[in-house]
Amino acid sequence: MLWETIRLAFIAIVRNKLRSFLTVLGVVIGVAAVIAMVTVGQGSSAQVSANVASLGTNVLILRPGKRMMGPGTRDTSPAFTLRDVEALEELPVIRAVSPNTSASQTVVFGNANATTSITGTTAAYLTVANWVLAGGRAFTPAEERQGAAVCILGETVRQKLFGAADPLGQTVRIKSISCLVVGLLEAKGAGSFGQDQDDLVLMPIRTVQRRLVGNQDVSGMSVALQDGVSATRGIRDIGALLRERRRIGPADEENFSVTDMKEIASMLTSINTVLAGLLSSVAAVSLLVGGIGIMNIMLVSVTERTREIGIRLAVGATAGQVLTQFLVEAVVLSVLGGMIGIALGLALALVASRYMLIPFTPDPLVVLMAFGFSAVVGVIFGYFPARRAARLDPIEALRHQ
Amino acid sequence: MTEGPLIALEGIGRSYGAGEAEVRALERVDLTIRRGEFVAIMGPSGSGKSTAMNIIGCLDRPTSGRYLFEGTDVSGLDRDGRALLRRHFLGFVFQGFNLLPRTTALENVELPLIYKGLPRAERIEKAQRALARVGLAGREHHDPSQLSGGQQQRVAIARALAGEPAVILADEPTGNLDSQRSHEIMQLMQALNREGITIVMVTHEEDIAAYAGRLVVFTDGHLTRDEPVRARA
């Protein structure tokens, strides 16, 4: 009997294809939005966690400039210098320090060229930022001291310039420098903000300072702490040293910042969570609106099919059977809508993940919940019209034109 | 099965509204119908014949009196109780055919069998047999819109027959048909009655009533005439 009812519901729905589609559109959009939001949200959370893992343990980022700047305030804080780097290396809490200074430049090899970020740094950068060499070698201390014209290519740059060819030992041109490729980085994928982390070229920092930017500034440092040293202690010791070196009085505000990457990562995760929550509640509202749409059409349907209800009652359908029929119809409608919405939502999430370079991680539990929720919407909003149908008087219903 | 009458109305009254506004559609009606009879109910509009038909068909309930169906008092049955009675013992044929639109003849005839809870194969078999009985073999998969009025009414009769009811209640079955189709339908009804099916029919046409075996006339809510039909066509 229930199968029969479900079959009948399908027939009734298929009879009015366009109307059925428009009816469930609200549910489709609601469910698709929930699924897309949650899936993308989870993907980007997974991405953040992966990045935190790839950062290695205990990494602090140092930048010149005040922590909080109001709009319109100009930051006049001095940059770091290589002497700051040397001083930091002496701190017992620190395992490695890598300075960096970046410039955007076009790298040319033969007919191919790629505009990328040239990061001037030291061999320590590989350790601190958790890079693995896919081939070749890091800079030697001599190359670093002399500011030699050598470089290590990120995966994206390597692909753009060399494709299938072997870049090691080849010379690329950056501005006026002919630069020997000594190493290749292994791919890391997308970063927490969806940026391509592999779109870079590493050079010794002195080379960048002298030949690309023309000053002695170090625009930032990454610091790896010794194992067992807490981020709090690291921040305190580094802060004390830099305050002294930059001659900041005890009462004055610091003109540099020390940031724990883990802190940023957890902040990103919580932003993700809040955003996903907000968007999901918007989606929940659209599900509610979708439910009202279903109720509206079911009421119209009950009125339109009054005679049919009369016939069914005359041949012996009980009120409960008529109620079930219309309730099942509403539930089948909203579940169909839910299924279309799930498919659409997953497709949207897939496209968005590709575009944002984050992993596509559909969660079966979320899919199941969206499915269940759409069925519940059908039951709740289908009940009132179904009850109206069940309460019709057979004589009146049969007379209805 | 009792040997008593199939249907017995005892002092049936049906009124609408209350107090000053009370309208009495039926007053103290006594009517007994035996198994195998073919009864035509006539009367002008507002005479109470349709009300009586609705009460007999358990679509409506009397406000006074007793209705015995196969000896059992059914006047106190609730909605669902009456639905079950209709499902198992009654078949309906209406003036407007009342077939489900965009539903094949076979599916229309299957409808009461679905509510009887019969398995699909048995339903199809019974529905096909009923359609063959009314002369519509081969039209099982036609929509009502593809059938003529007379054919549609035959489908409706097949639907009433399919559930093997104790009685078929026909409310102006020829009201929407031309005279030739009307007579064909009545010949079919007569044939069914000769096979032993009890029929109660409301009509306002003398020549249609003439097909019945007994004529009952209502006037102003009272049963005023009850006599055998003399001239059978």
Query: Could you read off the pLDDT of A170-192 as tens digits, one per residue?
Result: 999 998 889 999 999 998 877 76
> Across the strands, what pairs with A222?
A61, A98
* Residue to substitute from A2, A3, A305, A315, interface B, most B β-carbons within 10 A: A315
**pLDDT in the model for residue B233:** 46
**pLDDT in the model for residue A71:** 60
Enter the DSSP assignment of A213. I
**pLDDT in the model for residue A337:** 92
SS3 A214: coil
ipTM for the predicted complex comes to 0.93
Query: Could you read off the pLDDT of A121-150 as tens digits, one per residue?
Result: 998 888 888 888 998 999 999 999 898 999
Query: Could you read off the pLDDT of A296-321 as tens digits, one per residue?
Result: 988 998 999 999 999 999 999 999 99
**pLDDT in the model for residue B1:** 47
Instruction: Note whether B116 contacts A15, CB cutoff 8 Å.
Output: no
* Confidence tier at B109 by pLDDT (50, 70, 90): very high
Average pLDDT, chain A: 87
Q: Which helix (H) or strand (E) holds B90?
A: strand B90-93
Integer Cα distance of B223 and B221 in angstroms: 7
- What value does the mean pLDDT take over residues A248-262? 83
Which residues in A lie closer than 8 A to residue B99 (C-beta atoms)? 311
pLDDT at A268 over 80: no
* A196, A357 Cβ separation under 8 angstroms: yes
Query: Could you read off the pLDDT of B166-225 as tens digits, one per residue?
Result: 999 999 999 999 999 999 999 999 999 999 999 999 999 999 999 999 999 999 999 999
* Confidence tier at A74 by pLDDT (50, 70, 90): low
pLDDT > 70 in chain A, percent: 95
pLDDT at A193 over 80: no
Integer Cα distance of A377 and A275 in angstroms: 24
Expressed in percent and rounded to 5, the helix, strand and coil fractions of chain A are 55, 20, 25
SS3 A160: helix
Q: What is the pTM of this model?
A: 0.72
Q: Which helix (H) or strand (E) holds B15?
A: strand B7-16
**pLDDT in the model for residue A60:** 87
Name the residue type at position A98: S
pLDDT at B52 over 90: yes
Q: φ, ψ for residue A153 (rounded to 5)? A: -100, 140
Integer Cα distance of B68 and A3 in angstroms: 36
A319 touches chain B (CB under 8 A): yes
**pLDDT in the model for residue B223:** 93
- Helix (H) and strand (E) counts for chain B? 7, 10
**pLDDT in the model for residue B72:** 93
- A194-203, B67-76, B77-86, B126-135: which range is least confident on average? A194-203
Instruction: Note whether B86 contacts A314, CB cutoff 8 Å.
Output: yes
Which residues in B lie closer than 8 A to residue A308 (C-beta atoms)? 100
Enter the DSSP assignment of A106. E
Which residues in A lie closer than 8 A to residue B60 (C-beta atoms)? 395
Which residues in A lie closer than 8 A to residue B162 (C-beta atoms)? none
* Confidence tier at A33 by pLDDT (50, 70, 90): confident
Name the interface residues of B facing A (CB cutoff 8 Å).
54, 57, 59-60, 79-80, 83-84, 86-88, 90, 92, 94, 98-100, 102, 111-112, 114-117, 159, 163
Residue with more model confidence, A359 or A171:
A171
pLDDT > 70 in chain B, percent: 97
A15 touches chain B (CB under 8 A): yes
Gap from B20 CA to chain A (nearest CA, Å): 24
Residues in contact with B46: Cβ distance below 8 Å, sequence separation at least 6, in sequence order = B220
* Confidence tier at A108 by pLDDT (50, 70, 90): very high
Chain centre distance of CA A244: 40
- What value does the mean pLDDT take over residues B105-110? 94
A305 touches chain B (CB under 8 A): no
Here the tokens at position A256 are: 């540099």
**pLDDT in the model for residue A75:** 67
Which residues in A lie closer than 8 A to residue B163 (C-beta atoms)? 315-316
- What value does the mean pLDDT take over residues A266-277? 80
Look at the block and give the residue holding tokens 């997953």: A346
Residues in contact with B156: Cβ distance below 8 Å, sequence separation at least 6, in sequence order = B93, B94, B97, B98, B99, B108, B173
**pLDDT in the model for residue B91:** 95
Gap from B157 CA to chain A (nearest CA, Å): 12
- A167-171, A332-336, B17-21, B166-170: which range is least confident on average? B17-21
Here the tokens at position A44 are: 């980007």
Query: Nearest to residue A129, comparing CAs of A208, A185, A204?
Result: A185
- A352-366, B155-169, B208-222: which range is least confident on average? A352-366
pLDDT > 90 in chain A, percent: 34
